[in-house]
Structure 1
Amino acid sequence: MDLPFTPPLHADQLFGHLAATAVPGVEEWLPAGPATGGGALRRSLRLPGGPGVVVVHVPAPEATSVRAEITTTDPADEPLAAVLCRRLLDLDLDPALPDAALAHDPVLAPLVGAVPGRRSPGAPSAEEIALRAVLGQQVSTAAARTHAARLVAALGERAGSSGLRLFPSAESVAALDDDDATRLLALPVRRRETLRNLARVLAGGTLDLRHVDDGGDPARARAQLLALPGIGPWTAQTVTMRALGDTDAFLASDLGVLAAARVLGLPGDARPLDRAAAAWAPWRSYAVQHLWGVLPHAINTLPSP
């Protein structure tokens, strides 16, 4: 299946981010080769009719579509799987809109000019991203992947015969007793309880984490998340940016964002940077991508063959 998009699309940044943050067992990077072209991301999906697996390929520089291989338990789920792939890759974006807006800023203009078409990497599941965001609080990308992989190995359902697993459901995380939670979650006590409480709330269905295309409201979702113990602005903004299609999330306290801001001569502390970033609305999620691109990091490049 070909998933069309409006170019340009900066594939190194988009697929590099997804590869660098991939959760072992749920997602895997397939290196460039005869079958994959420039490389591909393979991951499981939780679908109404049973588990699915998708492979999304890095598009060639001149391409206007992404090749996706979709396998579902129930063929009726294929259209939904295609929608989730589009959200994962931010394919419904018209990149001219954020690029033109951000190019008016004298600091961001050279970044946009050098790398047009940056996308905001998405996700097929808001529940998954919310739990992953808590696992990633105040730790490196590698540590966040390790914590998530341990949870997947213990609680993730097998995605058919694919060798992959589904990311654990909120219900399964909420059901962990104290001993199992301590054994599986090598986290500080408060963060472990934040994760379990978030899982209970997610399982209860009181959080409205619908994608904007499904009628979701990122501002309302942020407020609901921030009302939970242990959930701060970084976590809430990460969830709305990655899973709700929020174009205007800004991770003012993110260490990478702050480091890039200092390099560019922007405020190097979260509160003044957040105030300065107001000028980039309503495209602050894309400003984050450009700031992350300032410093060398695995999220900015495709994995080496």
Structure 2
Amino acid sequence: MAGRYAPRPRSPIPAQASGPRSVARTRTWTPPWPLDVPLVLSPLRRGPGDPTFRTSPDGAVWRASRTPAGPGTLKVAVRGGRVEAEAWGPGADWLLDGLPSLLGADDDPSLFTPRHRLLAATLRRRPGLRLGRSGLVLESLIPSILEQKVTTDEAYGSWRVLVRRFGEPAPGPNDRLYVMPEPRTWALIPSWEWHRANVDAKRSATILRAVRVARRLEEAATMPPDQAQQRLELIPGIGPWTSAEVVQRTNGAPDAVTVGDYHLPSIVGHALADNRAADDAAMLELLTPYAGQRHRATRLILLSGHTPPRRAPRMTPRNITTL
């Protein structure tokens, strides 16, 4: 619609903020269904200290992204059933154009039929759940690679260090946000900086291989999810676990099941069959009735909170920086 991104003076800077100055562009959008913005966007957050993702006390969600048009910051809030968005930086229009897709406009939850009372109950409690499409591959791929074979706390810590060290302050008034590095910057990070960020050589090498073909990988966001996974898995070090984690976020893939996960099979097995010893094969068998919607099913299971009680201590995080 012409004129929907009318520039306006930048919102007043909060007392604690003094970020790069730019003009805010705005968009409003009214979804024709219930929408829980923090819930929809939560998979894009990599831990409570993610420098690219913040929530404010009023419930607004802030995201900093490196778009095809350049760095951009997006603020999204819901007021009276209407989504109000502001964006800053060279990537502002790109982010506002993709706002409905980001919030699940391309998703169709009606295709999902809950066949277990736990899923049905969770679906009733979470009517605002949608599977969004970010359309940005590297911003999901790199943190997913960092999460390979380590605890989430380790991976979150590495992501924080690398983005703050090699990224850049995000456009707009929120000076707590950072935009992740561009592909060339990732490629030039020296080996000792990966070590300081607690990233081993195997994961850093996978990231370096990915950023060298960043443009080709970004094309995966426009492909059908299965083809997108195939494109990602052409990179040595990227397997089904990583590719599924990416297309769930970039393509809004409702059937992209995460196989090879340390915890997910036991969680699904416990929820659907009281079998906490389930492996990947057993998990996939339990999810067979949800073919086409298996990721949505697992997301609902995780949101239900019905997880098996822990029987062993948490995995001890590794710290390679001391080596």
Q: Which amino acid aligns with 2:181?
A: P
- 1:293 matched to 2:319: no
Offset at 1:2?
1.7
Q: Cα–Cα, structure 1 residues 171 and 115, in superposed 2: closer, same or farther, change >3 Å?
A: same
More relative contact order in 1 or in 2 (CA 8 Å, sep 6+)? Answer: 1
Greater Cα shift, 10-19 or 84-93: 10-19
Matched, 1:156 2:176: no
Amino acid in the other structure paired with 2:83: V
| 1:24 corresponds to 2:50 | yes
Answer whether contact 2:269 2:283 (CA < 8 A) is retained. no
- Corresponding residue of 1:303: none
Deviation at 1:179, TM superposition (A): 3.2
Distance 1:255 1:277, change over 3 A: same
Match of 1:120 among 120, 131, 142: 131
Structure exhibiting the larger radius of gyration computed from Cα positions: 2
Contact conserved, 1:260 with 1:294, CA < 8 A, in 2?
A: no
CA offset digits 1:213-243 (Å, max 9, x no partner)? xxx1221221232233222211110111101
Q: What letter is aligned with 1:252?
A: V
Match of 1:211 among 214, 221, 224: 221
CA contact (8 A) 1:102 1:112 kept: no
Separation in 2, partners of 1:253, 1:111: 25
CA displacement at 1:150 relative to structure 2 = 0.8
Residue aligned with 1:55, SS: strand
Residues 237, 48 of structure 1: alpha-carbon distance in 2 compared, 3 angstrom cutoff: closer
What SS is found at the alignment partner of 2:61? strand
Identity %: 24
Alignment match, 2:60: 40
Q: Are the counterparts in 2 of residues 257 and 291 from structure 1 also a CA contact under 8 Å?
A: no
User: Residues 102-133 of structure 1: CA distance to partner in whole angstroms, max 9, x if unpaired?
Assistant: 32456633332343342225435211111111
Residue of structure 1 in register with 2:240 after alignment:
233
Quick one: which of 13, 16, 25 aligns to 2:39? 13
**Shift, 1:23, TM fit:** 5.7
SS in 1 for 2:83: strand
Change (3 A) 1:255 1:112: farther
CA distance in 2, matches of 1:296, 1:279: 20
Which of 182, 186, 211 is matched with 1:169 structurally?
A: 182
Paired residue secondary structure (1:242): helix
User: Following the alignment from structure 2 to structure 1, what is the Cα–Cα distance between the partners of residues 47 and 30?
Assistant: 24
Number of residue equivalences: 276
Cα distance in 2 for partners of 1:47, 1:233 equals 25
Partner of 1:36: none
- Give the C-alpha shift of residue 186 in structure 1: 0.9
Partner residue of 1:66 out of 83, 86, 102 = 83
More helix by share: 1
SS at match of 1:51: strand
Partner of 1:81: 95
Q: In 2 relative to 1, CA 236–145 (structure 1 residues): closer, same or farther, beyond 3 Å?
A: same
Contact 1:157/1:167 (8 A) holds in 2: yes
Offset at residue 207 of structure 1 (A): 3.0
TM-score normalised according to structure 1 size? 0.77
Structure 2 residue runs without a partner (length 5+): 1-26, 308-323
1:71/1:120 CA distance change after superposition, 3 Å: same
